[in-house]
């Protein structure tokens, strides 16, 4: 059924975001990368809301925890409270934002939207056939 395709596409979005966040996190920060990997699972990243009706897709949000317990300093790497002169040689600053703005995330979201459209078309066809 197409519902599983939609869920798989959403999981691919979450996986892409998680992978890029880990890849763009700074290397020499203790266990930040490991903690991000452990804290961000599909069940913690994807939250569904109730649909308005049978023909509406289940709204979902995808979040990533870039400062998980045990590595709260990840928040510093997102928005440092230091001057520009100290941060200009550190490309790791703003790593969660850079991960979300990556073209691979856009591609994964586009595939998810296509699956949602296909699912909606199938539902509409079933409703029309009932008439």
Range(s) of the domain holding residue 18: 2-130
From CA 32, how far away is CA 37, in angstroms rounded?
9
Residue 77 in tokens? 């790497």
Identify the pLDDT of residue 1: 40
- Write the pLDDT tens digit of every residue in 21-69: 888 777 766 687 888 888 888 888 888 887 666 656 677 888 888 777 7
How distant, in Å, are the alpha carbons of 57, 74, 75, 116, 122 from that of 65?
25, 9, 9, 26, 35
CB 29 within 8 A of CB 77: yes
pTM equals 0.70
Please choose, from the candidates 42, 33, 27, 13, the residue with its C-alpha nearest in 3D space to the C-alpha of residue 115.
Answer: 13
Domain count, the chain: 1
């Amino acid at each position: 059924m197409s519902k599983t395709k939609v869920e798989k596409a959403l999981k691919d979005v979450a996986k892409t975001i998680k992978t890029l966040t880990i890849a763009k996190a700074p290397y020499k920060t203790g266990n930040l990368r490991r903690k991000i990997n452990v804290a961000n699972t599909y069940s913690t990243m994807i939250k569904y809301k109730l649909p308005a009706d049978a023909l509406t897709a289940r709204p979902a949000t995808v979040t990533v925890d870039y400062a998980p317990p045990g590595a709260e300093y990840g928040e510093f790497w997102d928005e440092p409270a230091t001057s520009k002169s100290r941060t200009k040689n550190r490309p790791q600053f703003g790593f969660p934002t850079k991960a979300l703005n990556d073209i691979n995330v856009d591609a994964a979201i586009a595939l998810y939207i296509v699956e949602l459209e296909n699912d909606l078309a199938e539902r509409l066809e079933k409703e029309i056939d009932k008439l």
